[in-house]
Amino acid sequence: IRIRATMTNGFLMGLFAGIGNGFFGIGGPPVALYLFASVPDKKSYLATIQAYFLFCNIHSILVRSLHGSLQVSHIPIILVGWVSIAIGTYAGLKLFSKVPEYVLKRIVYLFVGLSGLWIALQQLL
């Protein structure tokens, strides 16, 4: 998949990401694909997508909290998730520096595809 870095494509990928985030809590795949065309190298890609997720997650937390979706009873589960994410991020950053850019792109495409497949299969099973 090759998406050109244009304002229109950025808007459309953002729109798809917003719809995906609103429906499923998953807005990243369209943005992950779009950003490959928008940034010059893998370090810029990683920094840009992390900033994107930071702002989107803050927005999602605020919106869902204001609508009563986030409850105090969810906090222990969230904390376990944060610890897991921290461990995974540390391991991922160790691997990141060793992976060539063309391989990273293939890994991202594979991960996006498998994530979509997993979500679809969960609804069928």
Residue pLDDT, tens place only, 18-27? 888 777 767 7
Residue 34: count of CB within 10 angstroms of its CB: 24
The DSSP 8-state label assigned to residue 28 in this structure reads: H
pTM of the entire predicted model: 0.71
Q: What Å distances lie between residue 112 and 66, 121, 123, 124, CA to CA?
A: 30, 14, 17, 19
Q: Please determine, for residue 91, whether its predicted confidence score (pLDDT) is greater than 90.
A: yes
The two structure tokens encoding residue 65 = 């909290």
Q: Each residue of 33-51: pLDDT tens digit?
A: 888 888 888 899 889 988 9
